[in-house]
């Protein structure tokens, strides 16, 4: 029984949270690696763009809730995601047209574009704080837990109760589905192959007749989808606070680098590597060792 209690303890505090957090980081890391691989710069506005997309989703969620619209046991925010994605894509395209395009047209070095993205980061931060404020915003509704710790204890007779949040299951499921569709798109479709060719060798891709404007447009569309969904899933699982998304920039970039910058699949795996490392190394194992070590020790 003690061994089972130890397993439940690890599931509760390490494996399930790390899978959830890793899924959220993975979406952000793929965003970073796509921008770096295709547009050739490190986008330091990643966290705040995720924050912007989440803010739009929250505003639409509140609007739907004011109309009495809900999804029952599922969060209303799922209804808001498509609208938030559209707004996020439009915002990114406006930023690209009036900011990044100028430097790209003038063949500015990547470090210049990276510095410009820091300016975009501060502007986006300011917009979010002006519209929704700097405080915590909890926008989850619906059924919070799929498995409750108390009910699990009663059912199994164990000392440790397994708690499984609906947001954790949603995060992992949506991430796997979204990333699977993305990899299929990149590897199997003509447009996806064109994006990879443009990333590998821009000059050769242009000679092959690939339209760079179309590649840039599709890249920002994919980035908008990843940023919004990743941000909303993070906010549903924890809470929405703009500064938290800024703080997530470091682990997101770490995940992209660990996975090999410019490699979407590596970025996906890198999200889980960083999440497991962060949670595994910071967990206090005293209670776990009480279960697995002999009482005499």
184 pLDDT higher than 80: yes
**Per-residue pLDDT, 261:** 87
Distance CA 297, CA 288 (A): 14
Residue 217 lies in a domain: yes
Which candidate, 240, 246, 248, 247, places its Cα nearest to that of 55? 240
Residue 297 lies in a domain: no
Q: Which two tokens stand for residue 119?
A: 């300016």
pLDDT band at 168 (very low <50, low <70, confident <90, very high): very high
Residue 163 lies in a domain: yes
Distance CA 58, CA 244 (A): 16
**Number of compact structural domains in the chain:** 1
Q: Which domain holds residue 23?
A: 2-292
**Per-residue pLDDT, 143:** 84
Looking at residue 97, which CATH number applies to its domain? 1.10.3470
Residue 255 lies in a domain: yes
Distance CA 20, CA 165 (A): 10
Residue 70 lies in a domain: yes
Residue 179 lies in a domain: yes
Residue 67 lies in a domain: yes
Higher pLDDT among residues 16 and 4, named by residue? 16
Which candidate, 280, 256, 271, places its Cα nearest to that of 22? 271
């Amino acid at each position: 029984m003690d061994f089972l209690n130890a397993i439940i303890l690890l599931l509760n505090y390490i494996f399930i949270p790390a899978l959830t957090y890793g899924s959220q980081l993975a979406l952000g890391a793929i965003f970073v690696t796509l921008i770096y691989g295709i547009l050739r710069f490190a986008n330091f506005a990643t966290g705040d763009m995720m924050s912007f997309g989440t803010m739009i989703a929250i505003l639409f969620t509140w609007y739907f809730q004011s109309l009495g619209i809900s999804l029952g046991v599922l969060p209303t925010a799922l209804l808001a995601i498509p609208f938030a994605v559209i707004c996020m894509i439009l915002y990114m395209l406006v930023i690209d047209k009036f900011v990044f395009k100028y430097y790209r047209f003038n063949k500015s070095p990547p470090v210049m574009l990276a510095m410009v993205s820091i300016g975009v980061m501060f502007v986006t931060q300011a917009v979010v704080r002006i519209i929704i404020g700097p405080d915590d915003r909890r926008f989850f509704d619906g059924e919070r837990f799929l498995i409750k710790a108390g009910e699990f204890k009663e059912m199994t007779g164990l000392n440790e109760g397994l708690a499984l949040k609906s947001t954790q299951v949603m995060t992992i499921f949506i991430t796997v589905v979204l990333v699977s569709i993305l990899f299929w798109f990149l590897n199997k479709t003509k447009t996806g192959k064109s994006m990879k060719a443009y990333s590998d060798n821009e000059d050769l891709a242009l000679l092959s007749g690939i339209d760079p404007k179309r590649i840039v447009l599709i890249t920002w569309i994919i980035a908008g989808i990843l940023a919004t969904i990743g941000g909303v899933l993070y906010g549903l699982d924890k809470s929405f606070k703009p500064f938290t998304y800024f703080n997530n920039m470091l682990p997101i970039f770490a995940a992209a680098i660990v996975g090999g910058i410019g490699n979407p699949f590596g970025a996906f795996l890198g999200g889980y590597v960083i999440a497991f490392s962060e949670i595994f190394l910071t967990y206090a194992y005293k209670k776990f060792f009480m279960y697995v070590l002999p009482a005499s020790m």
